[in-house]
């Protein structure tokens, strides 16, 4: 392993924005670890990106499963001894309804991935990031995480002067 080459872990990198982040990092010479819970999709993303001569490696990682997160951290430690960049990209949006209509189990599952999953992965990878000369953490979000957009009159989450996601 070239110790000068940066190493990044991108969660949820088997498709969409995560895969594009992985592609762009790898195109800059970064070795990208593709974190994905679905082995088949993760391996397919790895094959796709390697087909473009990019330096990537699939790593099984389910952000909702502490054992999976711990195994991923142990694998990074064993293979590379450090982590330079962590991109917390894994996230879900299961239901687009006002909170008054939202099933609490759906909300719980969303928080488990989007909030606790990010925390879980960050905590597990911190010791590896501290071994880097310049460790970085990037937390991805969506427009739903924007307080400005949520409160803006005429914004995407406001209808008839009332927040679409109001509790009433």
Cα 9 versus chain centre, distance? 9
Alpha-carbon gap, residue 168 to 165, rounded angstroms: 9
**Confidence (pTM):** 0.85
How is residue 101 annotated by DSSP? Answer: G
Classify strands 162-163 and 56-60 as parallel, antiparallel or unpaired: unpaired
The pLDDT of residue 150 is 59
Alpha-carbon gap, residue 90 to 112, rounded angstroms: 11
Nearest to 13 by CA among 2, 3, 24: 24
The pLDDT of residue 144 is 60
Classify strands 136-139 and 158-159 as parallel, antiparallel or unpaired: unpaired
The pLDDT of residue 163 is 40
- Residue 58, beta-bridge partner list: 34
The pLDDT of residue 165 is 42
Task: Give the CATH number of domain 7-141+150-163.
Answer: 3.40.50.720
The pLDDT of residue 166 is 41
Across the 168 residues of the chain, what is the mean pLDDT of every consecutive 10-residue run? 85 96 98 97 98 98 98 98 97 82 90 95 98 96 66 55 40
How is residue 15 annotated by DSSP? Answer: S
The answer to whether the beta carbons of residues 45 and 22 sit under 8 Å apart is yes
Phi, psi of 70 (to 5 degrees): -65, -40
Alpha-carbon gap, residue 58 to 44, rounded angstroms: 9
The pLDDT of residue 168 is 36
Q: Report the first-to-last Cα separation within the chain, whole angstroms.
A: 56
To the nearest 10 degrees (0 to 180), the angle between helices 118-130 and 66-80 is: 20
Phi, psi of 131 (to 5 degrees): -80, -10
Residue 7: half-sphere exposure toward Cβ, Cα within 13 Å:
25
């Amino acid at each position: 392993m070239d110790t000068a080459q940066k190493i990044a872990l991108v969660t949820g990198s088997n498709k969409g924005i995560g895969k594009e982040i992985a592609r762009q990092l790898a195109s800059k010479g970064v070795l990208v670890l593709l974190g994905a819970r679905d082995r088949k999709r993760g391996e397919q993303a790895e094959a796709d990106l390697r087909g473009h001569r990019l330096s990537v490696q699939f790593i099984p990682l389910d952000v909702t499963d502490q054992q999976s997160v711990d195994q991923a951290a142990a694998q990074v430690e064993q293979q590379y001894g450090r982590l330079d960049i962590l991109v917390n990209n894994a996230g879900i949006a299961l239901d687009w309804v006002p909170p008054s209509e939202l099933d609490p189990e759906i909300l719980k599952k969303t928080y488990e991935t989007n909030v606790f999953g990010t925390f879980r992965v960050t905590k597990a990878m911190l010791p590896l990031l501290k071994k880097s000369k310049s460790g970085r953490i990037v937390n991805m979000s969506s427009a739903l995480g924007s307080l400005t957009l949520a409160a803006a009159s005429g914004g995407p989450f406001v209808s008839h002067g009332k927040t679409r996601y109001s509790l009433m």
